[in-house]
C-alpha cells in the first residue's frame, strides 16, 4: 500500500461515471493521467476481491484485453460478458442489466451500440443509490478510454514539458474516436484540426463542444491544410462498427483522405496515430502505419496503463497531493 488515498463512501463523492472524457473534468483528467503513469506496484490494490463487469455489444481486441489486465493489476476479477448473453433491452431493460451487474461488480464497463444505453445504465444506478461507476468502453458517440491512451502517448512522444504548444490533426471521419480525442486534446491545451469530406465533418454542436474547452479547432475539408506543420496526424477507420451498410458509399466519399506518404510531406516532423484496427490502403497506407513515424503500438500498449489509472480513479484513488499538477 502506498500513501495514495483509496476508498470512499458513496455519500462523500459523486459516483465517478465516465461516459466521455469531458465527464472527468480537468482535475479528473490530470489525476487519471498521473495514476496511469504510475507503475502497477505503486497503486493500491483497490479492486482486491471485487468484480469488474466488461460488457460488450460489439467486437473488441484492445479494449477487452487491456481492461481485463488493468482490473487484474488492481486485484480485481474481470468478467467478460457478450451483449447477446444479457440482451440489453431485449431480455431485460438496460437499467435492470446494470442493477443486476452492480449486485456482483464494483465497476460496470460497457461497449454499447447506442450511447444512450450508458446514460440509462448510469441513471438507473444513481436512481437506486448504487455507487457503482459506469465506464464507456466505446459507444457510437465517444471512446474516452482510447483518448486517455492517446494523451499518454502524446505525452511520451513530446516529453514532460506539456502539450500546450502542439497541434494534432485528425484526417477522416468525425466519429467517436475523433470526438473524444478532440475534447481531450483541447482539455490539455493542444490545438486541433480536422479534415473530412463534405457531409462527414463535425456537427455545429461538436464544434461548440470542443471549443467550449478553449480548444483552438480548425475545421476544413482539405487534408493538406489540416496536416500542414502539425505535430501529430491521427486517423481512424472510415466505416465504424455498425455502419457496414454504408461502407461502399464511405469508401467513395473518403477517397483522397488517406494518411499516406504524400499527405505526410505536409507534416514533416509529425508522428502518426491510429486507434486500430487499421485498414491498410484505406484510411492509412501500409508504409505509414508500419513506418518509423507511426506510434500506434505505443497507443495500443498505453490502453492498459490508461485503463489501470482510470479504474483506480473511479474507485477513489487520488494521486499524491500535487502529483497531477506536475508537468509530465
Least CB distance from residue 317 to ligand CP, whole Å?
Answer: 24
- Distance in angstroms (rounded) separating the CA atoms of residues 232 and 140: 24
Please check whether residue 156 is in contact with residue 297, taking contact to mean a CB–CB distance below 8 angstroms. Answer: no
Pairing mode of beta strands 105-111, 134-136: parallel
Can you tell me which of 167, 176, 186, 192 binds ligand NVA, judged by CB under 6 A? 176
Q: Is position 303 annotated as part of the catalytic site?
A: yes
Residue 68, CA distances (Å) to 54, 58, 60, 276, 312 in order: 8, 16, 12, 18, 14
Q: Which residues bind ligand CP (CB under 6 A)?
A: 60-63, 138, 146, 275-276
Cβ proximity to ligand CP, 122 vs 138, nearer residue:
138
Number of amino acids touching ligand NVA (CB under 6 A): 9
Least CB distance from residue 149 to ligand NVA, whole Å?
Answer: 11
Pairing mode of beta strands 191-195, 217-220: parallel
Q: Is position 17 annotated as part of the catalytic site?
A: no
Least CB distance from residue 299 to ligand NVA, whole Å?
Answer: 11
- Distance in angstroms (rounded) separating the CA atoms of residues 74 and 278: 30
Least CB distance from residue 63 to ligand CP, whole Å?
Answer: 3
Please check whether residue 189 is in contact with residue 29, taking contact to mean a CB–CB distance below 8 angstroms. Answer: no
Cβ proximity to ligand CP, 60 vs 287, nearer residue:
60
Contact partners, residue 86, CB within 8 Å, separation at least 6: 55, 92, 97
Can you tell me which of 106, 153, 174, 175 binds ligand NVA, judged by CB under 6 A? 175
Q: Other C-beta atoms within 10 Å of 299: how many? A: 23
Please check whether residue 260 is in contact with residue 288, taking contact to mean a CB–CB distance below 8 angstroms. Answer: yes
Q: Is position 275 annotated as part of the catalytic site?
A: yes
- Distance in angstroms (rounded) separating the CA atoms of residues 280 and 214: 34
Which cell is 245 given? 451498410
Q: Is position 299 annotated as part of the catalytic site?
A: no
Question: Would you give the binding string for ligand NVA spanning residues 252-291, x where CB under 6 A is met?
Answer: -----------------------x----------------
Listed ranges 92-100, 170-178, 191-199, 303-311: which one lies at the site for ligand NVA (CB under 6 A): 170-178
Q: Rule CB under 6 A: which of 230-249 touch ligand NVA? A: 236-237, 240-241
Least CB distance from residue 136 to ligand NVA, whole Å?
Answer: 12
For every residue of 241-274, which 3-state class applies, written as one string? CCCHHHHHHHHHHCCCCCECHHHHCCCCCCEEEE
- Distance in angstroms (rounded) separating the CA atoms of residues 82 and 6: 31
Q: Rounded to the nearest 5°, which phi and psi values hold at 137?
A: -95, 15
Q: Which does 237 bind (CB under 5 to 8 A by kind): ligand CP, ligand NVA, none?
A: ligand NVA
Q: Which does 61 bind (CB under 5 to 8 A by kind): ligand CP, ligand NVA, none?
A: ligand CP
Q: Is position 109 annotated as part of the catalytic site?
A: no
Q: Is position 146 annotated as part of the catalytic site?
A: yes
Cβ proximity to ligand CP, 4 vs 303, nearer residue:
303
Catalytic residues: 111, 143, 146, 236, 275, 303
Binding site for ligand NVA (CB under 6 A): 138, 175-177, 236-237, 240-241, 275
Amino acid at each position: 500500500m502506498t500513501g495514495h488515498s483509496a476508498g470512499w463512501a458513496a455519500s462523500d463523492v459523486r459516483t465517478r461515471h465516465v461516459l466521455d472524457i469531458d465527464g472527468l473534468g480537468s482535475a479528473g483528467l490530470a489525476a487519471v493521467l498521473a495514476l496511469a503513469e504510475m507503475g502497477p506496484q505503486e497503486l493500491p490494490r483497490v479492486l482486491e476481491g471485487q468484480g469488474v463487469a466488461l460488457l460488450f455489444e460489439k467486437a473488441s481486441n484492445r479494449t477487452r484485453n487491456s481492461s481485463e489486465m488493468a482490473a487484474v493489476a488492481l486485484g480485481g476479477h474481470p468478467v467478460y460478458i457478450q451483449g447477446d448473453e444479457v440482451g440489453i433491452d431485449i431480455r431485460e431493460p438496460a437499467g435492470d442489466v446494470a442493477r443486476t451487474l452492480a449486485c456482483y461488480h464494483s465497476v460496470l464497463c460497457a461497449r454499447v451500440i447506442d450511447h444512450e444505453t450508458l446514460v440509462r445504465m448510469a441513471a438507473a444506478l444513481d436512481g437506486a443509490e448504487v455507487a457503482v461507476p459506469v465506464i464507456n468502453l466505446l459507444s457510437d458517440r465517444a471512446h474516452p478510454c482510447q483518448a486517455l491512451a492517446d494523451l499518454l502517448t502524446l505525452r511520451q512522444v513530446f516529453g514532460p514539458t506539456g502539450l500546450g504548444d502542439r497541434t494534432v490533426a485528425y484526417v477522416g471521419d468525425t466519429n467517436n474516436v475523433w470526438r473524444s480525442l478532440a475534447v481531450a486534446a483541447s482539455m490539455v491545451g493542444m490545438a486541433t484540426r480536422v479534415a473530412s469530406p463534405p457531409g462527414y465533418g463535425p456537427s455545429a454542436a461538436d464544434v461548440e463542444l470542443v471549443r467550449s474547452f478553449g480548444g483552438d479547432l480548425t475545421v476544413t475539408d482539405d487534408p493538406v491544410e489540416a496536416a500542414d506543420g502539425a505535430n501529430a496526424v491521427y486517423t481512424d477507420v472510415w466505416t465504424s462498427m455498425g455502419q457496414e451498410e454504408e461502407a461502399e458509399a464511405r469508401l467513395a466519399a473518403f477517397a483522397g483522405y488517406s494518411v499516406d506518404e504524400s499527405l505526410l510531406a505536409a507534416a514533416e516532423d509529425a508522428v502518426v496515430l491510429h486507434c486500430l484496427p487499421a485498414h491498410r490502403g484505406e484510411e492509412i497506407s501500409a508504409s505509414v502505419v508500419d513506418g518509423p513515424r507511426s506510434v500506434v503500438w505505443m497507443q495500443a500498449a498505453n490502453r492498459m496503463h490508461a485503463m489501470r489509472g482510470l479504474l483506480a480513479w473511479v474507485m477513489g484513488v487520488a494521486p499524491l497531493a500535487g502529483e497531477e499538477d506536475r508537468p509530465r
